Amino acid sequence: MIVMKFGGTSVQDATAIHNAANIIQREQVRVPLIVVSACAGVTDMLIQLGELSSHGEEHKALGILEELYQRHQQIVSELAHGSTGSASGRTRSVKIANKWEGVRDTFMRDSEELRRLILSLSVLKELTPRTLDQIMSYGERWSSLLLYHELCQLRIPTIQVDARTILITNADFNHASPQMQLTETKTRELILPFVKKQQVVVTQGFIGSTSDSATTTLGRGGSDYSAAILGTVLDAEEIQIWTDVDGILSADPSILPGAYRIKRMTFEEASELAYFGAKVLHPSTILPAIEKDIPVRVLNSRNPESEGTLITREQTASTACIIKSIAYKEGITVVNVKSTRMLMAHGFLSKVFEVFAIHKKSVDVIATSEVGVALTVDSAENLEPLVHDLQSFAEVTVHHGKAVLCVVGENMRQTKGIAARLFAALDRSNVNVELISHGGSEINLTFVIKETDIEQAVKALHDEFFSGINEKDPMFDINHL
Ligand code: ADP
Ligand code: ASP
Ligand code: MG
């Protein structure tokens, strides 16, 4: 069996859902488990709905609910209309029409439930992480229902399984972690019987539940992670991530539209890229797949003929290029911590890290000097108490508006002089490197620049490292969409 995950844009409207169902039909013989994200933009709207309600702005929240309701009902109308066009025979058309009526009823019931929730939250004036997870879960529940019915309409033997019955997590609402043992037991028990009968199973990405049935979510973009978790516990042959670009590209296409498709990557490269901001994969996706050595393929639902990017343990193609891709994270804050004595006091660094650990702030880039240390954090939220604690033994300055850039590639292991080329290229483009990391990994180089320099820096580095590449390179497709 395989896992196929469809992201928000791949199910954003009736056409996309119909297209996704066709892609699934082609893979039917491999018995896919389908993991679906909410239709594009829906999770953002649900969050807004929750926040507005808790600020007492129930009219605006009800307006968003109405928009969501109309959008999903519109998709039903379009998909159902397709059904009467393609159905063979009147009896079948009537049956299908009744099924779509059932979907409409569910949307109506859910909408009523959300309306009551909006009214309660606006009285309570609070939105707990637990309630937010409950609210966000509707997005995936709705999109999966639509795709399920579209698959039935194509006469593909399909069943639905609520992800909350199989993906069991801890109670860390909004950022829950899977409890792998329980998830494995539940998933195998509830999914394998259908796999054995060659049925397609549709479930939701992103959502799960605690062992006492409270709805949880895995963090934004978490459907990729759901796909990897489920694929791992089911020993899938392959995990496919269907999105809106041709695969993992040599840079973010929204900054560099001409970026190249990478044909092959290693788990380690993909992991580093995702961690350092390449939104195409959730940073945790690769970890479960590594455990069972399951290949992950990133594919384009708008261009299903493209081979996408295949991620495996070993480097399986050669290339003359030293790096594979450039990623970046925006909204970075640098915290400079200077020992109050002139020279680095014994135990100073461990004290600094202890403070970061106590405040649960993870650090991406660290640079040390004789008198201090600079660290980056990717959210300035709740930084004040941390700074306060550091100030008890150090001088602290905080700088916002930074970005972390990262170049990744297996070939970096054997190559010297990359940093020099990188600095020279950035210097020619007037981009100042403010910090560079002390090489936590042999396959990446990470550094900090001003947020406003991101575009220039990515372009300069792409020109520098990919200029010699040609059409025959076995690792890159330079002519993809
Ligand atoms: P989905 O909704 O399918 O999960 P996402 O929006 O989360 O899709 O991720 C896909 C997007 O990731 C692309 O549209 C692209 O803009 C962005 N992206 C950033 N870096 C890269 C990269 N190196 N390769 C491909 N896409 C990237
Ligand atoms: N719908 C969720 C989000 O927008 C999860 C996902 O798309 O992966 O974050
Ligand atoms: Mg995503």
Task: Tell whether 32 and 155 lie within a shared domain.
Answer: yes
CA of 472 from ligand 2 middle (Å) equals 36
DSSP state of 177: -
Residue 82 lies in a domain: yes
Looking at ligand 1, which atom is closest to the CA of residue 251?
Answer: 23
CA pair distance 13, 9, nearest whole angstrom: 8
Residue 206 lies in a domain: yes
CATH number, domain at 427? 3.30.2130.10
Long-range contacts of 431-437 (CB under 8 A, 24+ apart): 431/456, 431/457, 431/460, 434/334, 434/402, 435/334, 435/365, 435/367, 435/374, 435/376, 436/365, 436/367, 437/364, 437/365, 437/366, 437/367
CA pair distance 325, 304, nearest whole angstrom: 22
* Number of domains into which the chain is organized: 2
Task: Tell whether 124 and 219 lie within a shared domain.
Answer: yes
Q: Which ligand is nearest to the CA of 133?
A: 2
Query: If you search the block for the tokens 């966000």, which residue do you land on?
Result: 136
Looking at ligand 2, which atom is closest to the CA of residue 140?
Answer: 1
Please calculate the CA angle 444-445-449 and round it to the nearest 5 degrees: 140
pLDDT at residue number 87: 45
Mutate to test the pocket of ligand 1, among 280, 285, 299, 477 (most ligand atoms within 8 A of CB): 280
Whether the Cβ atoms of residue 299 and residue 242 lie closer than 8 Å to each other: yes
DSSP string, 246-310: SSSBSS-TTT-TTPPEESEEEHHHHHHHHHTT-TTS-TTTHHHHHHHT--EEEEETTSTTS--EE
Report whether residue 208 contacts ligand 2, using a CB cutoff of 6 Å: no
Q: Look at residues 200, 217, 244 and tell me which one is the last residue of a structural domain.
A: 244
Report whether residue 8 contacts ligand 1, using a CB cutoff of 6 Å: yes
Mutate to test the pocket of ligand 2, among 220, 226, 242 (most ligand atoms within 8 A of CB): 220
Nearest C-alpha neighbor of 460 from the set 428, 417, 412, 415: 428
Q: Is the pTM above the cut of 0.85? A: yes
Residue stretches of the chain with pLDDT short of 70 = 83-94, 341-345, 438-440, 481
Report whether residue 9 contacts ligand 1, using a CB cutoff of 6 Å: yes
Total Cβ atoms within 10 A of residue 289: 26
Cβ contacts of residue 94 below 8 Å, gap of 6+?
Answer: none
pLDDT at residue number 439: 63
Mutate to test the pocket of ligand 2, among 223, 239, 244 (most ligand atoms within 8 A of CB): 223
CA pair distance 223, 280, nearest whole angstrom: 11
Query: If you search the block for the tokens 């859910």, which residue do you land on?
Result: 110
Task: Tell whether 227 and 335 lie within a shared domain.
Answer: no
Total Cβ atoms within 10 A of residue 140: 29
Residue 222 lies in a domain: yes
Report whether residue 245 contacts ligand 1, using a CB cutoff of 6 Å: yes
Looking at ligand 2, which atom is closest to the CA of residue 223?
Answer: 8
CATH number, domain at 166? 3.40.1160.10
Q: Which ligand is nearest to the CA of 245?
A: 1
Task: Tell whether 367 and 218 lie within a shared domain.
Answer: no
Residue 387 lies in a domain: yes
Q: Look at residues 188, 215, 244 and tell me which one is the last residue of a structural domain.
A: 244
DSSP state of 218: -
CA pair distance 173, 192, nearest whole angstrom: 28
CA of 46 from ligand 1 middle (Å) equals 21
Q: Which residues surround ligand 3, an ion (CB under 5 A)?
A: 7, 221
Task: Tell whether 240 and 331 lie within a shared domain.
Answer: no
Q: Which ligand is nearest to the CA of 141?
A: 2
Residue 258 lies in a domain: no
Q: Look at residues 223, 244, 265 and tell me which one is the last residue of a structural domain.
A: 244
Q: Which ligand is nearest to the CA of 243?
A: 1
Residue 255 lies in a domain: no
Domain around 461: 325-477
Report whether residue 232 contacts ligand 2, using a CB cutoff of 6 Å: no
Nearest C-alpha neighbor of 113 from the set 136, 132, 135, 130: 135
CA of 152 from ligand 3 middle (Å) equals 26
pLDDT at residue number 96: 72
Task: Tell whether 176 and 70 lie within a shared domain.
Answer: yes
pLDDT at residue number 349: 87
Task: Tell whether 338 and 238 lie within a shared domain.
Answer: no
pLDDT at residue number 369: 77
Residue 259 lies in a domain: no
Task: Tell whether 200 and 343 lie within a shared domain.
Answer: no
Looking at ligand 2, which atom is closest to the CA of residue 222?
Answer: 8
Report whether residue 32 contacts ligand 2, using a CB cutoff of 6 Å: no
Mutate to test the pocket of ligand 1, among 12, 206, 245 (most ligand atoms within 8 A of CB): 245
Looking at ligand 2, which atom is closest to the CA of residue 44?
Answer: 4
Whether the Cβ atoms of residue 476 and residue 250 lie closer than 8 Å to each other: yes
Task: Tell whether 204 and 339 lie within a shared domain.
Answer: no
Residue 250 lies in a domain: no
